[in-house]
Structure 1
Amino acid sequence: MDPNAHKKARLVNRLSREELLKKLESETFRRITLSFYRYVIIDNPDQMRDRLFEMWSRLNCLGRIYVAHEGINAQMNVPEHYFDQFKQELYAIPEFENIPFKIAVEHDNKSFIKLTVKVRKKIVADGLNDDEYDVTNVGRHLTAREWNEMMKLPNVKIVDMRNFYESEVGHFEGALLPQAETFREELPEVLNMLRGCEDDPILLYCTGGIRCEKASAYLRHHGFKNVNQLHGGIIDYYRQVKEEGLENRFRGKNFVFDNRLGEHISSEVIATCHQCGKPCDTHRNCANKACNILFLQCDDCAREYEGTCSPACQEVIHLPLEEQKKLLRQVKQRKTFMRYRRWKPECS
């Protein structure tokens, strides 16, 4: 028997979703939602994973964290009264000393409902071989002020390095918007979009900056000479805009990968409901769990379709519970979930 089996069993969440939500609803304190990443060599990712899980469980932190040999990528929330201790203990780990945080624009105590720390091959799935980029040879990092100034340059190419369902609800003015569903698909698409522009100024941006680190290294590897990236991503851009009184060049909402699914950067609503076409930037997952597709749905359609994406899915949620579970098991066995692509807009 593994002598560490008992210890390993403790290093995972054992509560149900209902129990986790009930626990959150009873909290009387504020949680700070934040994200951070760093490319740094971690010799033993499994050991680091357990260390972080134990540390953050003790501080009642919640979130989704990936640890790999190449570094860490974290989105989480921290009880406000533990924030200083959280920061102190994280910075005490040499690999994460003074790691910069991106604090969320809009806080929600339910941004995450449990703590998950996983070991991955890479902290961002990119589908690249190690010889296709050098993450130490990245683009120039721009402040919000520098970014706004470079947006005015002739022949500038502004590229959204996020998935299309993210840019659909919000993006920078004049940005190229790849229509990929994943970062892995997006890199070659962006390379093709920029062919012939190797000497032009390239401006890359994403949510918090992590995808731009690899994207800028990838483009430099392929001969692009003037590659720049928004330091801290959209999240830190908005912080700087507010603090320095700068012009906000971002239109709409910033999609985030937690239960909030978005935070407003400007008051504009630039997207439309996928069912009725009215202005809408609210993402929902289809209430039919065998579908669970991510889509845009206004409140009126949410009432009419009962939170589902189609009349067919609406019928499913009225089936007996055992029938619904049977459908869900079939979907999981086939591993062929219905995709968001059904509403994918035509390239402009």
Structure 2
Amino acid sequence: MQLYNTLSAKERAALIKEAGQERLTISFYKYAHIGNPAIFRNHLFLHWNELDVLGRIYVAHEGINAQLSVPAENFEAFKKHLDSISFLENVRLNIAIEQDNLSFLKLKVKVRRKIVADGLNDSAFDVTNKGVHVNAEQFNELIEDPDTVLVDMRNHYESEIGHFKNAITPDVDTFRDSLDIIENDLADHKEDKKLVMYCTGGIRCEKASAYYKYKGFKQVYQLEGGIIEYTRQVNAKKLENKFVGKNFVFDHRRSERISDDVIAQCHQCGQPCDTHVNCANEACHLLFIQCEECARKMDNCCSDSCKEIHALPYEEQKALRKGKTASNKIFKKGRSEVLKFKK
């Protein structure tokens, strides 16, 4: 019974290109009680592997968080399988605004303690006592209200390339960092202001809204389906788009263009740019914003030292990395002293 990937990302990409079939990039989440996440994980892997589903899926006792791609011709079979799972029947699927057949190159279904690392003690408050969900039209009306405080629940590298007009964008590295900062900054407005939150697909706001109600905020709202669903509704209903720039996404595309505005700058030269890349030096892998000119000049690296290492033969690069622990700490997102124009 195969419960793991047998192809490398490079091999999978070649097969996708050879097949020439369109794929759909999809995300969804659902909070629900899962008795045995490991068994559920294996169940999903077996069924989705047969449908050529690729992606990153987290399963925990509290539910599921999924970002994936599926061949368009297998979508109905995939949806049928979702509907056969009681708590996933008719779950809202966020379809990507910009499709890319190579958005995911492996199927990774992982068991985690939580489906979002929020650092919260869920037993301390009622996680089902959530904020009011609003659609795109309601959201547009709410954020024009002078009694509304609009908060971006994403991290600094996400909001840097795109956000809603007049939103508070906390300068944080993780979701858990933002929770206390926002509460402290808005402590004087728990009674008189409407707290309106948004994130990429809605999952971070789902838990945060219940947390802020527990913390005493009286009027809590969240954008249903996040930026992805907001954009779909804006396009479908011809509503005014109040989002500027790009929406950061967690796959090989890295972002979706929502408006023509470029609100960020190249971290190396300061020119207008909103294209995220990873440093080509695999021992660094720093996520940062780099324009095409700097990419050519720096050989897709973040610094001169990384450029020198990247120029070495691959075996020498491997030898330099040998014996060094590759923890998550090396995969920093947009923060480094070598980035002269990082805001």
C-alpha distance in 2 between matches for 1:329 and 1:140: 51
Aligned to 1:78: 70
Q: Aligned pair in 2 of structure 1 residues 338, 26: CA closer, same or farther (>3 Å)?
A: closer
State the match for 1:305 in structure 2: 298
How many residue pairs match? The answer is 338
Q: Does residue 1:129 correspond to 2:121, yes or no? A: yes
Q: Find the counterpart in structure 1 of residue 133 from structure 2.
A: 141
Q: Which residue of 2 aligns with 1:157?
A: 149
Deviations 1:184-206 (A, max 9, x none): 21211222222111021011000
Gaps of 5+ in 2: none
Partner residue in 1 for 2:104: 112
What value does the CA root-mean-square deviation take over the aligned residues? 1.5
Secondary structure, aligned partner of 1:26: helix
Question: Does the Cα contact within 8 Å between 1:253 and 1:264 map onto a contact in 2?
Answer: yes
Q: Alpha-carbon deviation of 1:331?
A: 4.0
In structure 1, what is the equivalent of residue 239 of structure 2? 246
Establish whether residue 68 from structure 1 lines up as the match of residue 54 from structure 2. Answer: no
Q: CA contact under 8 A between 2:56 and 2:66: conserved in structure 1? A: yes
Q: CA deviation at 1:230?
A: 0.2
Counterparts of residues 91-110 of structure 1 (less than 5 Å): 91-110=83-102
CA distance in 2, matches of 1:253, 1:104: 13
1:334 CA displacement: 6.9
How far did 1:134 drift?
2.3
Compute the displacement of 1:332 (Å).
2.3
Unmatched runs of 5 consecutive residues or more in structure 1: 1-6
Counterpart of 1:341 in structure 2 is 335
Length-normalised TM-score, structure 1 = 0.94
SS of residue matched to 1:313? helix
Which of 200, 206, 215 is residue 199 of structure 2 equivalent to?
A: 206
Deviation for aligned residue 1:14: 1.9
Looking at structure 2, the residues matched to 311 and 64 of structure 1 have their Cα atoms a distance apart, in angstroms, of: 33
1:227: which partner in 2? 220
Change (3 A) 1:191 1:331: farther
How many percent identity over aligned positions?
52
1:256-295 equivalent positions in 2, closer than 5 A: 256-295=249-288
> Residue 4 of structure 1 aligns with which residue?
none
Q: Deviations over 1:115-160 (max 9, x none)?
A: 1101111100111112344220110000100000001111311000
Question: What's the offset of the Cα at 1:28?
Answer: 1.4
Aligned-partner SS, 2:241: coil
Amino acid at match of 1:341: R
Instruction: Map Cα deviations across residues 95-122 of structure 1 (whole Å, 9 max, x no partner).
Output: 2111110000000000000111011111
Alpha-carbon distance between aligned partners in 1 of 2:287 and 2:194, rounded to the nearest angstrom: 34
Contact kept in structure 2, 1:331 and 1:337, CA below 8 Å: no
Report what 2:162 is aligned to. Answer: 170
TM-score by length of 2: 0.95
d(CA) in 1 for partners of 2:184, 2:30: 28
Q: Could you tell me how far 1:338 is from its partner in structure 2?
A: 6.0
Residues 161 and 206 of structure 1 are in contact (CA less than 8 Å); yes or no, is this contact kept in structure 2? yes
Which deviates more from structure 2 when the two are superposed, residues 248-257 or residues 13-22?
13-22
- Aligned mates of 1:34, 1:234 — CA distance in 2: 14
**Which residue type is aligned with residue 244 of structure 1?**
K
Indicate if the aligned counterparts of 2:287 and 2:331 stay in contact, CA closer than 8 A. Answer: no
Question: CA 1:336/1:161 → structure 2, altered by over 3 Å: closer, same or farther?
Answer: closer
1:168-218 C-alpha deviation (Å, 9 max, x unpaired): 000000000011111121211222222111021011000000000011111
Q: What is the letter of the counterpart of residue 30 of structure 1? A: E
CA distance in 1, matches of 2:109, 2:302: 31
Q: Greater CA deviation, 56-65 or 183-192?
A: 183-192
| Change in 2 beyond 3 A, CA 1:81/1:216 | same
Q: Once structures 1 and 2 are overlaid, which stretch shifts more, 258-267 or 332-341?
A: 332-341
Q: Which residue of 2 aligns with 1:14?
A: 6
Corresponding letter in the other structure for 2:74: Y
- State how far apart, in whole Å, the 1-side matches of 2:220 and 2:250 are: 26
Q: Matched residue of 1:136: which SS?
A: coil
TM superposition shift of 1:80 = 0.5
One-letter amino acid of the counterpart of residue 151, structure 2 = V
Q: Say if 1:132 and 1:218, in contact at 8 Å, map to a contact too.
A: no
For each residue in 1:246-270, what CA deviation from the matched residue of structure 2 results, as whole angstroms up to 9, or x when unmatched?
1000000000000000001111111
Moved more, 126-135 or 299-308: 126-135
SS in 2 for 1:13: coil
